[in-house]
Amino acid sequence: MPQQVSMGATLQCSFGAAPSTLVVLPVNRVMGEGPPAANIMDHVPLVNIMPFGMCSSPANPTVAAATAAAMGVLTPMPCVPATMSPWVTGAPTVLLGNQPSLDNVSKCMCNWGGVVTIVNPATVNTMIP
């Protein structure tokens, strides 16, 4: 059963070298077992989604430039998330701030081809029907 995601959730990008954490601003005024609960609009780079260490996506312009400079050897560069679209699909029957609640099976796409997933939702008791 899907779980509600809250501030401090552990995230992982398919092209990132390290996990990251989700930052949820308390604008919706809904708490999930203490910290603020997230909705699908909590996808803003460097506000909600922090860097994942080093990025190895060849679609990332900085990685492509470094790889070209290294004569074609894949050269990871520091991650700067480019998550411009909301999380999908969320929980459409549970609204937080007039948006679907974010659950632990949702995914967020990075413009450089990575898929951001939720490894640990930071809640253990709040289940979403």
Give all domains of the chain, ordered by start, each with its CATH number.
1-53+79-123 (2.60.200)
What is the phi/psi pair of residue 45, to 5°? Answer: -60, 140
17-31 pLDDT, tens per residue?
999 999 999 887 777
The pLDDT tens digits of the residues spanning 35-73 come to 889 999 999 999 999 999 999 999 999 999 999 999 999
Q: Which residues of 46-85 are buried (b: 16+ CB within 10 A; e: fewer)?
A: eebbebbeebbbeebebbbeebeeeeeeebbbebebbbee
Inter-residue contact 76 to 65 (CB < 8 Å):
no
- Structure-derived torsion over alpha carbons of residues 73, 82, 113, 118, reported in degrees to the nearest 10: 110
* β partners of residue 65: none
**What predicted TM-score, i.e. pTM, was given to this entire model?**
0.89
